[in-house]
């Protein structure tokens, strides 16, 4: 299983990090070892001084495919979940400045927190406007809707599958809205999808 993450997919978030809004989807990978085991706390790695949360909609791939057209992409997923793409922002800034890959800042153990379940898209009233939010210590810090993504999931699948085969169980993190920020030991994060609390992470 691989985790494909889309960067800069909400224009307000691209702006808050002083990045240009991309003309094509931009992606990077996390290994399966990045998944934070359910109900485990996340221990801030000792090598970062600035660990950020990024709440994101997550699609799970249900069918094997490559060179998938945008028109057929909807056949490759049927449910949606929520996750947090934990990012060592200080380290990412360093490697970005050098033109190096991001994995050191994005792919470490525990960097992919996932909700307890996925919601079937057919059970949603409006698949084009899927709402989600993140609370830190009971205060809303990020809010988003799939409607605000620069590239929607079908465009992402069409783009990524030109380069790599999508396999059953692969996950696609679709980018984060604005409001990313730092976590400290003792913080409690809770992510909501369509009003349902599906993910809780204690930071240690
Ligand atoms: Zn992200």
DSSP labels for 78-137? EEEEEEEE-EEHHHHHHHHHHT--SHHHHSSTT-EEE-S--EEGGG-S-TTS-EEEEEET
27 C-alpha vs ligand 1 centroid, how far in Å?
A: 9
74 C-alpha vs ligand 1 centroid, how far in Å?
A: 22
**Assigned CATH for 3-202:** 3.90.850.10
Q: What is the pLDDT of residues 39-88, one digit of tens each?
A: 999 999 999 999 999 999 999 999 999 999 999 999 999 999 999 999 99
Separation CA 25–CA 159 (nearest Å): 7
Q: What is the pLDDT of residues 95-135, one digit of tens each?
A: 999 999 999 999 999 999 999 999 999 999 898 999 999 99
54 C-alpha vs ligand 1 centroid, how far in Å?
A: 5
176 C-alpha vs ligand 1 centroid, how far in Å?
A: 5
Number of Cα atoms under 13 Å in the Cβ half of residue 92 = 17
Q: Where are the domains of the chain?
A: 3-202
Q: C-alpha angle 38/137/57, rounded to 5°?
A: 50
148 C-alpha vs ligand 1 centroid, how far in Å?
A: 15
Separation CA 31–CA 48 (nearest Å): 19
163 C-alpha vs ligand 1 centroid, how far in Å?
A: 20
DSSP assigned state of 150: S
Query: Which residues sit opposite 113 in a β-bridge?
Result: 84
Separation CA 110–CA 89 (nearest Å): 15
175 C-alpha vs ligand 1 centroid, how far in Å?
A: 5
* Phi then psi dihedrals of residue 154, to 5 deg: -65, -40
pTM over 0.75: yes
* Residue 22 pLDDT greater than 90, yes or no: no
Tokens matching residue 81: 């979940």
185 C-alpha vs ligand 1 centroid, how far in Å?
A: 21
Q: C-alpha angle 180/190/41, rounded to 5°?
A: 95
67 C-alpha vs ligand 1 centroid, how far in Å?
A: 24
Average pLDDT, the chain: 96
120 C-alpha vs ligand 1 centroid, how far in Å?
A: 23
16 C-alpha vs ligand 1 centroid, how far in Å?
A: 13
13 C-alpha vs ligand 1 centroid, how far in Å?
A: 10
Separation CA 116–CA 134 (nearest Å): 15
How many CB atoms are closer than 10 A to CB 93? 12
66 C-alpha vs ligand 1 centroid, how far in Å?
A: 23
In the chain, the DSSP E strands lie at 3-7, 26-30, 51-53, 55-61, 77-85, 87-88, 112-114, 119-120, 131-136, 139-145, 171-173, 181-182, 188-193, 196-202
Around ion ligand 1, residues with a beta carbon closer than 5 Å are 54, 85, 176
Nearest to 102 by CA among 113, 93, 111: 93
């Amino acid at each position: 299983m691989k985790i494909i993450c889309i960067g800069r997919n909400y224009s307000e978030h691209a702006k808050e990090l002083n990045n240009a809004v991309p003309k094509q989807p931009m992606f990077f990978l996390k290994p399966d070892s990045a998944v934070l085991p359910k109900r485990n706390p996340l221990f801030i790695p000792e090598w970062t001084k600035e660990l950020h949360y990024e709440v994101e909609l997550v699609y799970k791939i249900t069918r094997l495919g490559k060179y998938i057209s945008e028109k057929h992409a909807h056949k490759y997923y049927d449910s949606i979940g929520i996750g947090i793409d934990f990012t060592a922002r200080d380290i990412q800034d360093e490697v970005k400045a050098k033109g190096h890959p991001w994995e050191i800042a994005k792919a470490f153990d525990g960097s992919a927190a996932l909700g307890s379940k996925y919601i079937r898209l057919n059970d949603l009233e409006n698949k084009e406007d899927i709402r989600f939010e993140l609370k830190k210590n009971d205060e809303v810090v990020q809010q988003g809707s799939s409607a605000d993504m620069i590239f929607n999931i079908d465009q992402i699948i069409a783009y990524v599958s030109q380069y790599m085969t999508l396999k059953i169980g692969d996950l696609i993190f679709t980018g984060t809205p604005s409001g990313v920020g730092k976590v400290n030991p003792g913080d409690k994060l809770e992510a909501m999808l369509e009003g349902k609390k599906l993910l809780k992470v204690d930071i240690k």
